[in-house]
Structure 1
């Protein structure tokens, strides 16, 4: 269907509508056989990506969701029935700001009369590990907002995005050519570690749409959006099969991983945090209890992602 203009159709407010997750949510709302009106928030409604979205019938609103712009944010959700909320820790890498901006979105949705909130959160590995892994700020910040949202009084669901398949492109040290001509995935984690992989652009919105369209909104629940739960050694094997390149998984130490991050030019402040994230996954995993039952379609597997992606640069 197309975006509805009928005032009886639910109005969905989507934060970050030009981003990966917000854009995926919009795509799935358009694909639904149910009518939706959509209000999308972006910082610059004049850029080409924004205009392309506006041309689909979306009510596009220029909005900077920061505490300094609190009054405008608190008014922006007025009249919306459903809200999709998301923050981007990696824009500023400040946990206090992450929490403040996430809570502001919850407050604004509540002030606007929203009846259902879907939030893009993350698990607390500090809690999961009994305090061993407490420095994974992006996860801890999002978890704090999840707790706040659940206590807001507005029906609230946390839809966590699994491990982005595109990370191997954005973090080149995760896939590289070795001296012998083979390619390695040198990650500081056991090869049998299971990851909830997702092609986020293609499939994240599928899980948000499913939550919204359930006969009873599953308030209070946590759902992980994933295409496949797969071991890292199987990811390497399927990447080799799909591309015809000799790819292997290579377990490295945390210190070796930090050295690779430094070689990429990433700031030292990130090294321990990123290494801790892998350590937490190696020691405790990422619990996923939901299935794909009831989804409007099946999300992409890792092998399907491999087949659809352009590997010409990553496996040059």
Structure 2
């Protein structure tokens, strides 16, 4: 049986580099790392981190641009699986569709897509302006229309965003403010280490029969209540931590002057409100009950807060 190949789009970013590392360490797949610029510092660092696999022919870096369908076709041609992701931008949906078109034209067997749900649909039209979610949901819908085998990974909030002031702030008196903009002190929120978890779940999918994973959506997140996070932040920082939700005025001031600040302000406000409204006994933005979490069949779990804190060394 010939060795199978996975093409990893976005291979020098957090998620993609994590996929490259996980697949190389846990499978026999050849990894084709797709990047806009193979001569970039990030691409060179990826090669250096896996030089033994490069020397063995298991890791190859190739060039492609999500704005260029022909380059994508060349990059994924001959691969059996493609891992795909996009980053928020004004042309994100078109970039995602370009990747889907390339996957289809090149006869790739399976697309593993790092996506997000349509909050507009999940909320019954109540929250419609979370653009990053709607864009990725539109790409997923297009992929499922065009391709036979699509598997979707759904991450939660990224742990490394904890450092942003709309999550944690160190006050002049040494105490810490934890500021999830929520009405309740204990919503169950899903968190993800993008540099590790997406890769671990992708490797687990590759280890399973395609007949099991095709068409599935797998939550990639660890659920933890806000009050539990407060306790963990206190242990980590050695300081008193208070849960104090941001006011709309505070969020407005934080976003003022930022590129697309008004859009970000509205999107974040709606996202916090939506998370607040999801049932506590559910996961993946309310898509599944915890007992019916499809990711249980993969035999892998997302990173806990304690694991991420120890690995990253971050403290508030």
Taking structure 2 as the reference length, what is the TM-score of the superposition?
Answer: 0.87
- Rounded to whole Å, the distance in 1 between the matches of 2:204 and 2:195 is 16
- Rounded to whole Å, the distance in 2 between the matches of 1:273 and 1:147 is 21
CA contact (8 A) 1:42 1:60 kept: yes
Larger displacement relative to structure 2 (104-113 or 275-284): 275-284
Partner of 2:215: 220
Partner of 2:102: 108
Partner of 1:287: 286
Partner of 1:267: 261
CA contact (8 A) 2:155 2:192 kept: yes
CA contact (8 A) 1:117 1:154 kept: no
Partner of 2:282: none
Partner of 2:61: 60
- Partner of 1:135: helix, strand, or coil? coil
CA contact (8 A) 1:128 1:284 kept: no
CA contact (8 A) 1:21 1:200 kept: yes
Partner of 1:44: 37
- Rounded to whole Å, the distance in 2 between the matches of 1:241 and 1:229 is 19
CA contact (8 A) 2:80 2:109 kept: yes
Name segments (4+ residues, structure 1) moved above 6 Å.
Answer: 263-266
Q: Does 1:188 align with 2:181?
A: yes
Deviations 1:194-253 (A, max 9, x none): 111111212221111112221234211111112x21012211211111332222221233
CA contact (8 A) 1:76 1:112 kept: no
Equivalent pairs counted in the alignment come to: 297
Matches within 5 A, 1:79-98: 79-89=78-88, 92=89, 94=90, 97-98=91-92
- Rounded to whole Å, the distance in 2 between the matches of 1:71 and 1:105 is 10
Partner of 1:306: 309
Deviation at 1:36, TM superposition (A): 0.7
CA contact (8 A) 2:85 2:96 kept: yes
Partner of 1:4: none
CA contact (8 A) 2:220 2:302 kept: no
Deviations 1:147-166 (A, max 9, x none): 11111132001111211100
- Partner of 2:314: helix, strand, or coil? coil
- Rounded to whole Å, the distance in 1 between the matches of 2:223 and 2:294 is 10
- Rounded to whole Å, the distance in 2 between the matches of 1:107 and 1:185 is 43
Q: Are residues 191 and 136 of structure 1, via their aligned partners in 2, closer, same or farther at CA, if it must alter by over 3 Å? A: same
Match among 3, 24, 30 for residue 9 of structure 1 = 3
Larger displacement relative to structure 2 (12-21 or 171-180): 171-180
Match among 207, 219, 233 for residue 201 of structure 2 = 207
Taking structure 1 as the reference length, what is the TM-score of the superposition?
Answer: 0.87
CA contact (8 A) 1:206 1:295 kept: no
- Partner of 1:257: helix, strand, or coil? helix
Q: Are residues 243 and 203 of structure 1, via their aligned partners in 2, closer, same or farther at CA, if it must alter by over 3 Å? A: same
